Amino acid sequence: MDINSENLANDELISSNLKQDNEVVVVIVPLQAQGHLNQLLQFACLVSSYGLSVYYVGLAKYNHQAKVRANALNPWDIAKIHFHDLPSSPDFASGKVPTIWDGCMLLRIRESIASFLHDISCKARRVVIVHDVLMSYNVQDVSSFHNAESYIFNCGSSFDMYCSHICTAAGLPIPLEAEQLKRMPSLKGCYPDEILHVGRLQSPYTGIKAGDIYNTSQVIEGSTYLDLMAQLASIQNKKQWAIGPILPTKLDHISNRDNICLDWLNKQPPKSVLYVSFGTTSSFSDEQIKELAMGLELSTQKFLWVLRGADEGVLLLELEDLSCRKDLRKE
């Protein structure tokens, strides 16, 4: 069964359910990058647990990636989510996969999402779109549907959102002591030009939102920046929720490898292990990896190194913890 036929069958089934219940439908639109896919899938499962129909919308390869790497989620919870695969371009289908920052791909995604929202809005009493902040451009057409509203899901911290975006755009002060401000690293050079370009594309459309959702809490960050963001939301007549952490607290479905790493960590003294990770989209040459490994070994510091490789150009392989296995052999 091809993607379009599978989506058609899935949509017919959901359409039948919607007609019976006249219900609210939640549409999740993640950025097509693993760290964002994972958080939005966790959120989708959380919302679905309240009995709502939830669609998870993305390109087929990324939807598949989100499902196969959701190690901490209950498979039964994932089965309740309706994954809608957006049509792929001929280049994408042939294996010439464009990056998530490709402007042409972003335009194609916008058109496909708008078409999907039109279909859903005709079937449901109310449609709620929850999208990654970096997908604001792609969901801008939500304002065309009278029974739909959108909320931005922020994968980063409220501190990052306030300091990196709000302060930069509005020139607001950062509530830190002078000495702390001096120690803050600059954002200059942190992002490639194509990412900055995509970020700028979002700005005209973030105001369409009805509110913001943060994957954080006061226990994690304290109240300072959440309160500042709440004040700004109030001025803009928007809503705000801090609902994190949404990662399941009861991990019944983790792999044996994960258990081994956790068992090892539990044997270490507090604050004695260095966690090393360069995120979900970075890549290193063999020489760079060897240099990092040598530096970690010479440091004599216990460490947990999460090292990711590339898969077909943009998709990432499963996490592979090299340093944990090494230290386990020493135990």
Catalytic residue, chosen from 132, 141, 212, 321, is 132
131 is catalytic: no
**Is 317 strand, coil or helix?**
coil
Q: What are phi and psi for residue 179, nearest 5 degrees? A: -65, -35
Token pair listed for 37: 């896919």
Pairing of strands 310-311, 274-277: unpaired
Measured CA to CA, the distance from residue 138 to residue 233 in angstroms comes to: 22
Contact present, 136 and 208 (Cβ < 8 Å): yes
**Is 242 strand, coil or helix?**
strand
- Is the preceding peptide bond at 245 cis, omega within 30 degrees of 0? yes
Token pair listed for 71: 């190690």
Catalytic residue, chosen from 11, 36, 212, 321, is 36
Interacting residues of 127 by C-beta distance below 8 A, sequence separation 6+: 24, 25, 26, 27, 117, 120, 121, 145, 147, 148, 149
132 is catalytic: yes
> Cβ-count burial of 110 within 10 angstroms (0-12 exposed, 13-18 middle, 19+ buried)?
middle
CA atoms lying within 13 Å on the CB side of residue 331: 14
Catalytic residue numbers read 36, 132
